Amino acid sequence: MTSQIEATSAPHPIGDSVRRVDAREKVVGSAMFADDLQFGAGLLYARIKRSHLPHALIKRIDTSKARALPGVKAVVTGEDYAGHIGLYLQDRFIFCRDRVRYVGDPVAGVAAVSEEIAEQAVELIEVEYEPLPGVFDPEYGASPEAPLLHPDLGQYEVANFIFPEPGTNISNHFRIRKGDVDAAWAQCAAIVERKYRIPHVQHVPIEPHVATARVDENGKVRLWGSSQSPFAQRNLIAKSLGLSQSDVQVIAPYVGGGFGCKAGVSMEALAVAIAMKVKGRPVKLRLTREEEFYTAFVRQGLVAYFKMGCDAQGRLLAMENRFYWDGGAYTEYGVNITRAAGYSSSGPYNVPNVKTDSYCVYTNHPVGGPMRGFGMPEMHAGLEQCIDELALAVHMDPVQFRKINCIKTGDTLVTGMTMHATGLSECLTRAAEAIGWGRKEPPSAPNKRRGKGIALMWKAPAMPPNAGSSAKVALNEDGTVTVSVGGQEIGQGSFTIAAQMAAAALGVPIDWVRVATPLDTNYSPYEWQTVASRLTWSMGNAITAAARDARRQILEMVAKAWNENIEDLDIIDGKVISYKSEEAISLKNIVIYGIPLPNDQGWVGGPVLGRGSFMPTYVTGLDAETGQGPRAVVHYTTGAQAVEVEVDMDTGRVRVLRGVAAFDVGKAINPEMVRAQMEGGFVQGLSTALFESLQLKEGVLQNPSFVDYRIATSTDVPPDIETIIVEVAQDDGPWGARGIGEHAMVPTIPAIANAIYDAIGIRVGAPPYTSEKVYLAMLEAGLVEE
């Protein structure tokens, strides 16, 4: 192998870092002033030296020139920290130690008095590499011929429901074996086999990742970050650095967009590791927009094989799926996406015979992590197109085919679990009716073709079986209520829901309720993470329990003071009332100072503080060989989307004219916010269907900016998006509620793909369905002439 030295004059692997620094000089003064106001004049700025190679051994790192640069206060490398870090699989170092595994892997970090000096120092660090062969396709990566990217896989700490295969690049292999698939094929009247390749995409939050860390002289860490997972960050960073969790404090204000990329730990540990070397001074690390595209979590790519068959009456008999998930260089989060795809691999259908192999594969691509939908948009993209094709193969309408086969209450799922109450059939029927299924609308011009498509979905909260939530409800002198939670507000309305639930359970007006911010692991009650669309359900259960605990304390106090039975008392609009004596008393003052007993015989009560927690204790393990078990997940949210599109035969442009979203949410705690989630998820799904794709070539990202990475804008949104709320109560949800945040994005790609097929009669292949791709597909099929 030859060696490469990244010299001080080497260009940045993606873009020109010098030009980027010059552009920032215009605003750095005001930005630094704002930072000084919050963190003081001692604030330092961090920048990261990153690998420009996708896979290589680190032979030598020379930091002497960087350390000698005036204004540099610390330089950190992998030699400083030997601990691994990771959520489900601890497979990476904070800074690389022996090798780099993707373009952007952090090799060294610098803290300096300004970002400009930190950038200069990074350029002065010399790294000598020995390039190694790369893996850029997950299917190849899973083969014995592929170079081994993690030789120490067998030594990594891993959750007991993740099944790595040491000696390979497979970090998790999840299996489903239900029924007898091989015997079922002979009974099928029609069989469809297809391969789909789903590209990587970026979350592109408006606010990039940013973190500021300070370590005091006693080694206590305080981390401010834009985070969906402050408690997970506290735990993972503490474990990696050998600290007590009580010595790590994470403060997380409102998040300017997350969609999953700010879950777990991505860049936050870098800021802490650098701050450990400059105790007493805060260190701020902010990703540039370029870095956001390829050094933060990306949505994993997928190579999916589907085979499914049905009888002549359209009843599904067998399904055999094989998924190769492109987990990237480190798969600490991606392994659970693989698992979720496995236990949901039949889609929302009752299939008696299922065989699934879902592989999470190491590649030399950016790190795959959670994104809205957590693997379900990628999996459903191909599965729901195959369902359409299978229906047509037996000359059956796709909606009717789905009505026959979709999951219903009491069905046995792919894992052996019994399906809880669900309104999926109603979602399907109402979505089809709303889109005008069966009616062909005339196109807007002679050179255009119209079509309609539909797709179903399901998704369970993908989480450990013991992911918990807790909450506190405190009352103030004037009767107002402060709700403390550990779940984050990322624009989805979780704090609004928290206030609504607390008000309803306690018996006070909602405008009396405040939610404490920012989240602070020293003071906020524990919450696993703000992921998996679980807060309304899990955190909601904890809030309800805390409010009811506070309510109980108040009623017991009043019952004792009035010598009444607690069963005769209630709290309505912030007053305790007696149905027996018709007495009433405001919560004001009594919830802090209590109530005097008659004849000056003392007092009863005192400050009211309600506490509540929730953890699903009923989720069971699944057999490693068959994926079977009594209860694989807590529940599924189900739904349907239907679209109408118009395809321009001259350009290939696909325009979505109308969209319908129908989802069973159990109970809509806030109907307007539920509808907003349905609309927002539809638009984000449309964006991935028509525009978004990270263009990776030999591990190097070709489009790390909004110039070349297109996302949907307001001009791409259909003028008509109809949202339909179906409510079939969830037995373990507060007021019967379950989540809806991610689900509205899941079926959009296949709904649009099916509509394109209905319009022009051909399958375009993998998303995104850009004008160029659609036009070339039509050209190849002979639908248009050159």
Query: 23 pLDDT exceeds 50?
Result: no
Query: 262 pLDDT exceeds 80?
Result: yes
What is the tens place of the pLDDT at every residue in 684-708?
A: 999 999 999 999 999 999 999 999 9
How far apart (Å, rounded) are the C-alpha atoms in residues 220 and 213?
A: 10
pLDDT value, residue 36: 63
Question: 16-22 — which CB contacts under 8 Å span 24+ positions?
Answer: 17/119, 17/122, 17/123, 18/123, 20/119, 20/288, 20/290, 21/115, 21/116, 21/119
How far apart (Å, rounded) are the C-alpha atoms in residues 604 and 585?
A: 15
319 and 280: one domain? no
The pLDDT > 70 percentage for the chain reads: 95
Residue 381: both structure tokens together: 């993209």
Query: 15 pLDDT exceeds 70?
Result: no
Number of domains in the chain: 3
Query: 7 pLDDT exceeds 70?
Result: no
pLDDT value, residue 40: 86
What is the tens place of the pLDDT at every residue in 210-236?
A: 999 999 999 999 999 999 999 999 999
| Domain of residue 323, CATH code | 3.30.365.10
Whether the predicted model's global pTM rises above the 0.75 cut: yes
pLDDT value, residue 765: 87
pLDDT value, residue 786: 81
- Whether 240 and 321 have beta carbons less than 8 Å apart is answered as no
240 and 110: one domain? yes
675 and 758: one domain? yes
pLDDT value, residue 38: 81
Tracing tokens 């399958």 back to the chain, one arrives at: 763
What is the tens place of the pLDDT at every residue in 420-440?
A: 999 999 999 999 999 999 999
Residue with the bigger pLDDT between 589 and 37: it is: 589
Which residue stretches of 277-361 are H helix?
A: 289-294, 334-343
116 and 264: one domain? yes
Mean pLDDT of all residues in 175-203: 98
How far apart (Å, rounded) are the C-alpha atoms in residues 467 and 614?
A: 9
514 and 562: one domain? yes
Evaluate whether residue 141 is within a structural domain: no
Mean pLDDT of all residues in 263-268: 97
pLDDT value, residue 18: 28
Task: Quote the domain boundaries for residue 66.
Answer: 34-132+204-295
What is the tens place of the pLDDT at every residue in 141-160?
A: 999 999 999 999 999 999 99
Query: 37 pLDDT exceeds 80?
Result: no
Query: Which 3 state secondary structure label does DSSP give 142?
Result: coil
Query: 61 pLDDT exceeds 90?
Result: yes
691 and 629: one domain? yes
What is the tens place of the pLDDT at every residue in 594-648?
A: 999 988 999 999 999 999 999 999 999 999 999 999 999 999 999 999 999 999 9
Best CA proximity match to 173, nearest among 182, 185, 165: 165
Query: 20 pLDDT exceeds 50?
Result: no
Evaluate whether residue 186 is within a structural domain: no
Distances (CA, A) of 730 to 179, 190, 429, 594, 725: 28, 36, 21, 38, 14
Confidence label for 12 from pLDDT (cuts 50, 70 and 90): very low
Evaluate whether residue 182 is within a structural domain: no
How far apart (Å, rounded) are the C-alpha atoms in residues 583 and 562?
A: 9
Query: 29 pLDDT exceeds 50?
Result: no
How far apart (Å, rounded) are the C-alpha atoms in residues 51 and 337?
A: 26
Query: 206 pLDDT exceeds 70?
Result: yes
Evaluate whether residue 116 is within a structural domain: yes
568 and 692: one domain? no
659 and 759: one domain? yes
pLDDT value, residue 254: 92
Residue ending a domain, among 271, 295, 319, is 295
Residue ending a domain, among 255, 271, 295, is 295
557 class by beta-carbon count within 10 Å (0-12 exposed, 13-18 middle, 19+ buried): buried
Measured torsion, CA atoms of residues 287, 121, 699, 273, in degrees rounded to the nearest 10:
-60
Query: 241 pLDDT exceeds 50?
Result: yes
427 and 313: one domain? yes
Mean pLDDT of all residues in 654-669: 98
pLDDT value, residue 783: 96
Residues 539, 541, 545: CA angle, nearest 5 degrees: 115
Mean pLDDT of all residues in 345-362: 98
Mean pLDDT of the chain: 95
Query: 356 pLDDT exceeds 80?
Result: yes
Residue ending a domain, among 270, 295, 320, is 295
402 and 542: one domain? no
Buried b (16+ CB within 10 A) or exposed e, 55-83: bbebeebebebbeebeebbbbbbbebbee
398 and 518: one domain? no
754 and 740: one domain? yes
Evaluate whether residue 387 is within a structural domain: yes
DSSP 45-109: EEEEEE-SSSSEEEEEEE-HHHHHSTTEEEEEEGGG---EE-SSB--EESS-SSEE-STT-EEEE
What is the tens place of the pLDDT at every residue in 503-550?
A: 999 999 999 999 999 999 999 999 999 999 999 999 999 999 999 999
Helix (H) or strand (E) holding 158: none
Evaluate whether residue 786 is within a structural domain: no
223: β partners:
213, 250
- Whether 449 and 443 have beta carbons less than 8 Å apart is answered as yes
Evaluate whether residue 372 is within a structural domain: yes
| Domain of residue 255, CATH code | 3.90.1170.50
